[in-house]
Amino acid sequence: MNKHVVLYKKLSPALMARLQAQVEVTLIERLDNDGLMRLRDALPGAHGLLGASLRLDAGLLDLAPKLEAVASVSVGVDNYDIDYLTRRRILLSNTPDVLTETTADTGFALILATARRVVELASLVRAGGWTGNIGPAHFGSDVHGKTLGIIGMGRIGEALAQRGHFGFGMPILYHSNSAKPAVEKRFDAQYRSLPELLQQADFVCLTLPLTAATEGLIGAKEFALMRPDSIFINISRGKVVNEPALIQALQQRQIRAAGLDVFEREPLPANSPLLQLDNLVATPHIGSATHETREAMARCAVDNLLAALAGQRPANLVNGDAWQR
Ligand code: DGY
């Protein structure tokens, strides 16, 4: 009997054909109310799930007694109850590596956009407001040679450090669970405690995953440590930051600006006070959103899922304890 996979993310024709050659597929194209109802209807027969951007909790997964594997098209796994999946021996896989460089590009786009006020000044030109030479009121601040502070020195943190160190001559400070001698050597980077990094960096960039330990890590106390000319960048997860505290820090110019790709609630509600701020650049969670990278992530997820359903250990298994063969 063919295994049954429920897809809640559309795949390219080539990947869809590959999947359909090996398993039965139900595709839920959109996760609107109708799509969620169809998902619930399909779960009882599902051996595998593949998708992203949906909180898969016990309430939903209890509907899927045959489930063997979940392949997330993301590196972040904060949408999954890993303990629950492990208890049920359901293999959870993710898509690291293939998105590292693209996500670091997004981080750097936000660094440049905030420091050089790209969005604000491009809007001024478009609105016909460029009527004379630009003066100090519209000047930005330099990026090259400034200190880049990275919180969470994983793969994406390293890719950001590489761009900053080799491309922009930036001294690199970092904070993470443990010191990383190889990173220190490669980028001439220096480890700092969190308060030290917040006090010393010109750019404070979050690249760490959302976990119980990192939720709300950056709040009023942390923004108070940052310098008034510093810039805050978040390409990890919105909930790592206390959003009201960030809004206050930006409103009161406790920090100069912020570049955010992730938010407490996504999509960002149109009435969010963040959108009233002229010192904020907001992008719609586009960290890995390029044609090439999203295809590579989907391919990786399909590989992981097919391996798991064939009884093999997926290359990117998240919950190793669920693997019992
Ligand atoms: C990831 O892969 O985790 C990206 O942030 C998309 O969710």
DSSP string, 261-312: S--SSSSPPTT-GGGG-TTEEE--S-TT-SHHHHHHHHHHHHHHHHHHHTTS
Name the residue among 205, 218, 112 with its Cα closest to residue 161: 205
Give pTM, 2 decimals.
0.96
User: Hey, what domains does the chain have and what are their CATH numbers?
Assistant: 4-96+291-322 (3.40.50.720), 100-282 (3.40.50.720)
Confidence of residue 325 (pLDDT cuts 50, 70, 90): low
Q: What is the pLDDT of residues 130-184, one digit of tens each?
A: 999 999 999 999 999 999 999 999 999 999 999 999 999 999 999 999 999 999 9
Q: Are 275 and 282 contacting, i.e. CB atoms less than 8 angstroms apart?
A: yes
Given a cut of 90, whether residue 324 has pLDDT beyond it is: no
| Ligand 1 centroid – CA 179 distance (Å) | 25
Q: What is the pLDDT of residues 46-73, one digit of tens each?
A: 999 999 999 999 999 999 999 999 999 9
Confidence of residue 1 (pLDDT cuts 50, 70, 90): low
Which residues are tagged catalytic?
A: 237, 266, 285
304 lines ligand 1 (CB under 6 A): no
For ligand 1, pick from 73, 74, 100 the residue to mutate: most ligand atoms within 8 Å of CB.
74
Identify the pLDDT of residue 48.
98
Residue nearest to atom 3 of ligand 1 (CA): 76
76 lines ligand 1 (CB under 6 A): yes
| Ligand 1 centroid – CA 14 distance (Å) | 22
Question: DSSP code of 252?
Answer: T
In the block, residue with structure tokens 């004379």: 132
287 lines ligand 1 (CB under 6 A): yes
Per-chain mean pLDDT for the chain: 97
Helices (H), 51-178: 58-61, 82-87, 100-115, 118-126, 155-162, 168
| Ligand 1 centroid – CA 1 distance (Å) | 33
